[in-house]
Structures are given as C-alpha cells and as structure tokens.
Amino acid sequence: SFIPPEITKPFWISSEDASPEYFEQLGQFVNSLTLNVTPETAATACNQFLIYVLPKDRDKFRKKCDIESARVRRDNASQMFALREVRTDAKNRRVVLLGVLSTIIGDKPVSKSNEAYLIEFVHSDGRFYVANQEKVNVDDPFSTKKVSN
C-alpha cells in the first residue's frame, strides 16, 4: 500500500483492507495531483498521478492526462480545488471529495463551481491503486451516473 505524503489523521491498513481515514487522506492526495495544476505543473502532476494508477489502466489514464495537460498549457489555465467535504465509503474502497473548483485563464478568474469527484481504489499485488477518478453529481456523488466535464 502507499502512504499519503501528509498524514493528518491516524489510520490502519491490513493485507487487503484499510480504514475510512486512509481512503480519505489518499483520495485528497490523489485528487490534488489532477485538480491543482498550472501550465508549468500539469505534466509533472500527471506523471505523478499515473504512479498510483493500476498498471493495466495507465494507458487509459495517460491519454486523459495528456489531453488535460495540453488544454491547461494551450489555455494558460490554472485550476485549484478547495476541499469542503470528504465522504468515504471504505467498504467499497471509494471516496468523494466535494469542494469549489476555480479556474484562471492567464490572470483572469473565469469560473468557480461546486464540484464532486469520486475516486475508487482497488487492491492488487499487496497495495491500493486508483481504479477510477471522475467528476460526479454533487447532489448524489456515490451514484453511478456520469457527469459531463
């Protein structure tokens, strides 16, 4: 298993399970890699994020990352996610992060929106990996309905 770089609450990890606090902190770390980016940091953050993705899924996530990194550089965009709430479903190894996503183009703020992101983890080869990360409905974040970006 991998340990979040900053530990803010005690947690436990066993051979195939972990506490809600572990998934909460892991989710916050992983989400920050993809949502707190600038044109200068987007590619590095993407590569860092891919380390935590299940190896068989890395190509799929790399394509998504590359498209997003190119968009951030092209638009000279920066975005920041201000976390407001974390909801954890440790039994199903998933966490939802709710907060405000702010986007700046150049030096002009262009959007500020309430967003929710679901991160699902899978256990493989003795550690947890990201299996999915997606924007979800703020009002029903654990629903299986997709939200368009």
What is residue 79's predicted lDDT score, i.e. its pLDDT? 96
| Phi/psi at 91 (5° precision) | -55, -40
Residue 148's pLDDT band (boundaries 50, 70, 90)?
Answer: low
Q: pLDDT per residue over 22-70, tens digit each?
A: 999 999 999 999 999 999 999 999 999 999 999 999 999 999 999 999 9
Q: pLDDT per residue over 58-73, tens digit each?
A: 999 999 999 999 999 9
pLDDT at 138 over 70: yes
What pTM does this model have?
0.89
